Amino acid sequence: MAPLLLLASNGAIIFLMSKTLPNHKEYSFKHHFVPHPHHKTRATLLSHSAIFTYLLGIVLIFGSFRLISKTFPGVLGYASDITTQDLLNLTNQKRLESGLTELRINSALSSAAKRKAEDMFKEGYWSHISPSGTEPWDFILRENYDYVYAGENLAKNFNTSKDVVQAWVNSSSHKENIMNKNYEEIGFAVVNGVLDGYETTLVVQMFGKSRTGSYVASAKDENKILESVATVLEDTGLVPDPKNEPIQKQIVIENPVVQPTVDIATASKAIGLVFVIYIVVLLLLDIWYSKRHSIFKLTGHSLAHLSFLMITLVGMLLMMMPGKIL
């Protein structure tokens, strides 16, 4: 009789324990997100192996950007909204703020800047001097611009004209070009193309002072010329009747701006933001759950590994961010 009673009591205890212990599957799943009270460790998603997986995933994601850029050139790139007029206005604004005179736009310098940008795309380089040894001054001289002083600033993958000029001004060597008292004229080129597999916007800024001086007609001078021509035509009776003249429209040809299918800057920021939010939420959940259940964790070097992971992520994001000057 006694053995039967003992057996019955043990069965009752086992039954009660089975009711009080959490479901095994639920128990295991929960500790992917919160610390384990018995093992004294962080959640599975914050473990050493998980951190290594995250690190490997980040490397693979950013590595895939490089692979895609080589396999499908132009799909990835940096979207931009930069115009030569804005660049000119912003550059002259910086000069005026420093008490300097405005620079005049010069078509020869702009043409030289355009040829320089096209050469960088064609030869696949990002430098003041081409792999064949061609210097900025060679492009200027090819446009028959005989200079006394000349200079060059380069930029790529910026989003706006303001960002470009501000980056130049923040650099002492580039600012020296912009604030140089010897320069009187300036030229710009904003050219889109594929460089190193990425859809890229190159900005070339050429400075100069002509040895012979350049003639730049103002609107007032142009009106005087047109008025004098009209007077001559009237005197000779050759002024045509406006009613018989065909209607003409001015045609402006602009280089099309080709935007990439995927903007790397936006994609990188999105990936980085999602990952940071994910890690922060896990850490806050870890801290809250540990305090609530008085769990003292034997975490080892988990925090050090997380710090290394975050540093790696930030480094890769900085590498992919737009905006470089030369």
Q: What does pTM read for this prediction? A: 0.57
Q: Which two tokens stand for residue 220?
A: 């007032």
DSSP letters spanning 117-168:
HHHHHHHT--SSS-TT---HHHHHHHTT--EEEEEEEEEES-SBHHHHHHHH
Mean pLDDT value across residues 140-149: 95
For residues 64 and 70, what is the distance between their CA atoms, to the nearest angstrom? 10
Quick check: 218 pLDDT over 50?
no
Residue 257: how many other CB atoms lie within 10 Å: 13
CA 23 to chain centre: 50
For residues 286 and 33, what is the distance between their CA atoms, to the nearest angstrom? 7
Q: Does domain 84-216 have CATH number 3.30.1390.10?
A: no
- Average pLDDT, whole number, for the chain? 72
Higher pLDDT pick, 97 / 2: 97
Tell me the three state secondary structure of residue 56: helix
**Domain range annotation of the chain:** 40-76+262-325, 84-216
Higher pLDDT pick, 256 / 34: 34
Between the CA of residue 27 and those of 16, 233, 259, what are the distances in Å?
18, 97, 50
For residues 310 and 53, what is the distance between their CA atoms, to the nearest angstrom? 13
CA torsion angle for 20, 26, 29, 32 (degrees, to 10)?
-30
Q: Which two tokens stand for residue 58?
A: 């980040």
Higher pLDDT pick, 72 / 187: 187
What type of residue sits at position 279?
I
What 3 state SS string does 236-290 have?
A: CCCCCCHHHCCCCCCCCCCCCCCCCCEEHHHHHHHHHHHHHHHHHHHHHHHHHHH
Q: What is the pLDDT of residue 297?
A: 61
